[in-house]
Amino acid sequence: MKGIVTKSTGSWYDVKTENGDHITCRIRGKFRIKGIKTTNPVAVGDWVDFEMEPGKDTGVITHIYPRKNYLLRRSINLSKQYHILAANIDQVFLTAPILNPETTPTFADRILVTAEAYNIPAVILINKIDLLDTPELIAKKEQFKKTYEQAGYPVLEVSARTGKNIDQLKALMKDKTSMFTGHSGAGKSSLINAVDPNLNLKTGEISEVHKQGKHITTFAQMYDLKFGGNIIDTPGIRGFGIVDMKPDELDSYFPEIFKYKQNCKFNNCKHTNEPGCAVKPAVKSGKIPLSRYKSYLQLLEETEADDNFPYRQKKV
């Protein structure tokens, strides 16, 4: 039988069959996809074949279909391995409040660069817009919004509490597989509940001491949306490392840097100290935001020092 993985708890997987039944499945033995060093060989969003276990109401996954894309992060405990957050995604929503907790450009850029590398369109949701009640916070929001719109990303201001732009968010999600990601406490589950109240996902409070959220979503899970499509809610991410990325391809994953690199004197220009670089003047003139350039330099340093595994599906 064929189905799609809708939940993974580490050793057991919820598989939704093509006729809508949900079967709890496991994998037999050391099921590993050739060449991929991940802590979870099967991920939410994977299409799989499975067979029922004799005399039981559980199944065993026997085959994983090729993925069109996936999003992963470094394993928390195993530095040389990775964890797949979700697979076969149509779009990723970066839930990015300005405060409670603050979404820094560095954190946002790491997720956006990874989405670019894996061919996943990204939309930025400036959540908790109702909390921005001072001129300073509003100015900070406008600068954040300008930076990412300048890079070519759709940016939507939303509030789960007031319902601001929830209808626009639903329109973007209709009939697509969407993934929500962001910091713990960014309001992912609250937004999903606002989009489809029937889901009634558990939500958490922000710590007043640390201004961060608690991990309410423990495992990635896919939900069907009443108005069409489905959504994958992922655990909050406090750190997001760049995975399997070569230094010479990094500038292609910053759309505004990619635009100007075509005019660099040398094809292998890293946009640091090379003569004839077209990117640095664009940064100086404000055509490329300084925060994005700083993120690029930081990630360049990381990729040059990293010992990566070359298994990613290349951008086409």
Fold of 2-66: OB fold (Dihydrolipoamide Acetyltransferase, E2P) (2.40.50)
Count Cβ atoms below 10 Å from residue 77 Cβ, excluding itself.
8
Output the pLDDT for position 89: 95
Count Cβ atoms below 10 Å from residue 96 Cβ, excluding itself.
27
Going residue by residue through the chain, which has 316 residues, state the pLDDT in tens, using 9 for 90 and above: 999 999 988 789 999 999 999 999 998 766 655 555 677 788 999 999 999 999 999 999 999 999 999 887 766 655 566 778 899 999 999 999 999 899 999 999 999 998 998 899 999 999 999 999 999 999 999 999 999 999 999 999 999 999 999 999 999 999 999 998 888 889 888 899 999 998 887 664 433 333 443 444 457 889 999 999 999 987 766 555 667 788 999 999 999 999 999 999 999 999 999 999 999 999 999 999 999 999 999 999 988 886 544 444 444 3
**Residue matched to tokens 């959220």:** 213
User: pTM value?
Assistant: 0.84
Helix residue ranges, H only, the chain = 105-117, 135-150, 166-173, 188-195, 255-261, 279-284, 290-305
Fold of 247-305: Ribonucleotide Reductase Protein R1; domain 1 (1.10.40)
Q: Which of 281, 290, 308, 256 is nearest to 113 (CA)?
A: 256
275-307 as b/e: b if 16+ CB within 10 A:
eebbbbebbeeeebbebbbebbeebbeebeebe
Give the C-alpha separation, 266 to 186, whole Å: 41
Query: Are 83 and 40 in contact, with CB atoms under 8 Å apart?
Result: yes
Give the C-alpha separation, 25 to 15, whole Å: 7
Give the C-alpha separation, 274 to 163, whole Å: 49
Q: Collect all residues with Cβ–Cβ distance below 8 Å to 288 and sequence separation of at least 6.
A: 256, 257, 260, 279, 282
**Which sequence spans correspond to the domains of the chain?**
2-66, 71-233, 247-305
Strand partners, 23: 15
Give the C-alpha separation, 165 to 264, whole Å: 41
Query: Which tokens in the block code for residue 300?
Result: 């360049």
Count Cβ atoms below 10 Å from residue 163 Cβ, excluding itself.
11
Output the pLDDT for position 246: 86
Output the pLDDT for position 227: 93
Query: Are 94 and 125 in contact, with CB atoms under 8 Å apart?
Result: yes
Q: Quick one: CATH architecture of 71-233?
A: 3-Layer(aba) Sandwich (3.40)
